[in-house]
Amino acid sequence: MYPWALHHRLLLAFLLPILVLLISLSLVISAHYRDDLLARYKHSREATLRSTAEIINHSAMTNSDLQALLTLGLRDESIRQLSVLSPTGKLQAQAGQSQAKMPQIELLQRANVLQGSLSIAGGDQDFRQLADGRWLVVDSTQQVIRLAFYERLGQYIALSLALLMVLAMVLLISLRRNLLPISLFAAALNQPEKITPEEHALAKRIWPELVSFLTRYYFQQKTAMEQLIQDSEHAEAELRETLDAIERQNIELHATRRSAQVSNQLKSEFLANISHEIRTPLTSLLGFARLLERSPLSASQQQHVQALSRSGEHLLAILNDLLDLSKIEAGRLVLDETPVQLGNLLSESTAMLAPLLGDKAVEIQVDIDPRLPESVLGDPLRLRQIMTNLISNAIKFTAHGHIQTQLKLLAEEAGRVHCQLIVSDTGVGIDPSRLQRLFEAFEQADSSTSRHFGGTGLGLTITRQLVHIMGGDISAVSEAGKGSTFTVSWWASRDPFFHSALTNPQGHTQLHYNQLASSPIRVLVVDDHPANLELMQVWLSELGISVETAENGALAIEKAGSRTFDLIFMDIQMPIMNGLEAAQGIRAQERGGQRVPIIALTAHALNSEREFWLRNGIDDYLSKPLDESQLHHILQQWTRFISAPLPAIDWPEAERLAGGRRELAEKLISTLAEDIPLAREQFLNAYQMRDADAWRRAVHRLLGACRYTGVPALRGSLEAALSLSEGTWDEALQQRILREMDALLQATNARN
């Protein structure tokens, strides 16, 4: 309680100065006593030395008399030992005991010259030279003096403490008696109704300010405690209500989350199914259109077939946009990190889209910053997708004027460059108030845009999300009637494997084709779509391959069990039994270590990962819609089939890819031929270093340019190389690629 604390403080305030005074006084008195003891000790030592020396000098004494005299001098307690030394320092007589050694004669003579004494460990030695040259040595100690001093100091301190305790008891009793009313008043504050007027008056008479403060403090604390209890009860009630509301919201959110997950799963399944349903007939449509293009047709029929192919490819592009959007939203889109020549990529994309201008009075300009590195790391497919989306939009909405595409270098730091792509046009433009909606899915600047210009409104949405996945940013500036400008900026790493010096090593190995096998290859095609079966039969029969078909998985198991096939093409989604079940059934009936390669034909674009098929009895897969080059490479990779050499340059295919413009086709092939020496150097460097990863990056880089030019032989070999597992190496394929590079250069040089 507070009064007892007050008692203690007052008691300490009184006793502390007194304690300090008593201890100081004890120390002062003890110090004087010690000085007196030291003076007496010094006088006694000198007197003993002087009197003993005088007696020895004035008396003729025998050794026994001398010993008795020295023993008599030990009566003083501070004297430990008396010794008589010869003039040469030898001991003649001694009385008493001491641990100190006798001093050397030289030390005695030197000390006698200085008229001093000797200090030793644990005591002092005094000496005097006698009349006959001998030495009298007195060994004394201050131990007795110290004991006397400590004894006297302890007495003084004990006396001081005793006095202090008596004084403390007296003060404590007095303080308790005088402060008792305040103690009683403070104790009674817990029950103020029991405080009598006499107690209050008596306490206030002793310490008025304290009593008034205690009274006010008590009532303030009582009021605050009552308010705190009320607030606590109110807050507890509100907290219970909030927890109940949060619990209800959690239940609702959990149910909503489960519903959203189910909806998202249903959406993914729907997209996968609709992808299969659309891609399956699209495979037949595009396949038969390509077969018709190679057949003898009139000019009008050729135009109709080309229009049919373009429409199918346009439909495929729309489907790919929908699937890309779904993959991005699901977080399943992963970008590659392969060497990319941004300048070449922009030039190729612009040249590929130039035929879309038709008869428009529009000029396309390409401006590439010369400071931009020739090769950086990125995803060429997605970069080309961004460029083609922006450039095709500019072509679509520009009737006259010009379209300018620019690649700039904004900044450069260690190993990275800040790139910027700008696509500007002088087209119809966009109202600034609609720019924010422009990048949303299925949104267009005007509701009439899709009817007038076509499109689904997904291109810019996918472009923005691809740019964000790359860690970049996209913006648009536009004004109605004056055109638009789209700006994309992103950071890219430099290509660490790129070398600017172009070399063309000689003495490389040439690859020769083997002869066709004597026995035909037997292939089983399993598909529930009749048109796809017919298309595969036509393609494979043209290659001299024996083909059998099955309309479902159960029939495929039956045929695979009754005869031997070199390869099976298996559709995945089929009635009665799907492709995965059929593949597992075929695997179950295989004996003797034989394993027929099973290639999945899938339009199931969301679930076409290679590892998924490999875990379910599938060896490889082809994504619909198919083309003949993919079919050739699968046959070459998994069977003994060797196709006839393809031409280095297929001019009909080159013209078709260039939109029917012969000049553009020649320009694209010429651009590719100019890049061959650099690509050849990269392939050879990777081959010499035995670096499979660098070899794969070189394949990625060159394949991007070959996809839009009529070079089927080189493109096919590169696609076959790309189908290999990462980290693997195929020396034969390496030699074939080098051979086809040389063939392409020879064909280009011969034409020039």
CA distance 353 to 317: 14
Q: Which residues touch 435 (CB under 8 Å, ≥6 apart)?
A: 476, 478
Q: Taking all residues of the chain, what is their mean pLDDT, rounded to a whole number?
A: 78
Answer for the pair 709, 669: CB distance below 8 angstroms, yes or no: yes
CA distance 258 to 245: 20
Q: What is the pLDDT of residue 500?
A: 39
Q: What is the pLDDT of residue 487?
A: 94
Range 441-445 average pLDDT? 49
Range 556-572 average pLDDT? 90
Q: What is the pLDDT of residue 405?
A: 94
Residue that wins the pLDDT comparison between 514 and 595:
595
Find the DSSP H helices in 134-207.
143-187, 197-206
Range of weakest confidence among 44-53, 289-298, 687-696: 289-298
Share of the chain above pLDDT 90, in %: 10
522-638 CATH = 3.40.50.2300
Q: Do domains 522-638 and 645-752 have the same CATH topology?
A: no
pLDDT band at 728 (very low <50, low <70, confident <90, very high): low
pLDDT band at 515 (very low <50, low <70, confident <90, very high): very low
pLDDT band at 451 (very low <50, low <70, confident <90, very high): very low
Highest averaged pLDDT of the listed ranges 396-405, 438-447, 716-725: 396-405
Has residue 508 got a pLDDT over 60?
A: no
Q: What is the pLDDT of residue 549?
A: 92
List the structure tokens of 312.
């199918």
Q: What Rg value do the Cα atoms of the chain yield, rounded?
A: 55
Range of weakest confidence among 287-291, 346-350, 499-503, 748-752: 499-503
pLDDT band at 418 (very low <50, low <70, confident <90, very high): very high
- Return the amino acid letter for 100: A
Half-sphere exposure of 134 (CA within 13 A, CB side): 17
- Return the amino acid letter for 307: A
| Each residue's pLDDT tens digit, 359-384 | 788 888 999 998 999 889 888 878 98
| Each residue's pLDDT tens digit, 467-478 | 998 999 999 898
CA distance 481 to 63: 143
Q: What is the pLDDT of residue 519?
A: 57
Q: Which residues touch 383 (CB under 8 Å, ≥6 apart)?
A: 340, 342, 345
The length of the chain, given as a count of residues: 752
Has residue 17 got a pLDDT over 90?
A: no
Q: So where are the chain's domains?
A: 2-148, 522-638, 645-752
Residue that wins the pLDDT comparison between 169 and 327:
169
CA distance 56 to 54: 5
Residue that wins the pLDDT comparison between 211 and 125:
125
| Each residue's pLDDT tens digit, 603-660 | 654 444 566 777 778 888 777 767 676 787 788 778 867 665 667 888 877 877 776 6
C-alpha torsion sign, points 494, 387, 353, 274: positive
Q: What is the pLDDT of residue 697?
A: 82
E-assigned strand segments in 255-399: 338-340, 361-368, 376-378
Has residue 132 got a pLDDT over 60?
A: yes
Under DSSP, the state recorded for 566 is: S
Q: What is the pLDDT of residue 78?
A: 79
Under DSSP, the state recorded for 119 is: E
Which CATH number is 645-752's, of 3.30.70, 1.20.120, 1.10.540, 2.60.120?
A: 1.20.120
pLDDT band at 184 (very low <50, low <70, confident <90, very high): low
pLDDT band at 408 (very low <50, low <70, confident <90, very high): very high
- Return the amino acid letter for 180: L
Under DSSP, the state recorded for 257 is: H
**pTM given for the model:** 0.41
CA distance 476 to 160: 96
Q: At what angle do helices 2-58 and 143-187 cross, to 10 degrees?
A: 170
Q: Read out DSSP for 414-443? A: TTEEEEEEEEEE-SS---GGGHHHHTSTT-
Share of the chain above pLDDT 70, in %: 76
Range 56-78 average pLDDT? 80
CA 81, distance to chain mean position in Å, is 86
2-148 CATH = 3.30.450.20
Tell me which residue of 544, 709, 549 sits closest to 632, measured CA to CA: 544
E-assigned strand segments in 302-399: 338-340, 361-368, 376-378
Tell me the C-alpha to C-alpha distance, in Å, between residue 237 and each of 49, 167, 454, 476: 100, 60, 61, 53
CA distance 525 to 568: 6
pLDDT band at 199 (very low <50, low <70, confident <90, very high): low
Tell me which residue of 730, 711, 586 sits closest to 645, measured CA to CA: 711
Q: What is the pLDDT of residue 607?
A: 44
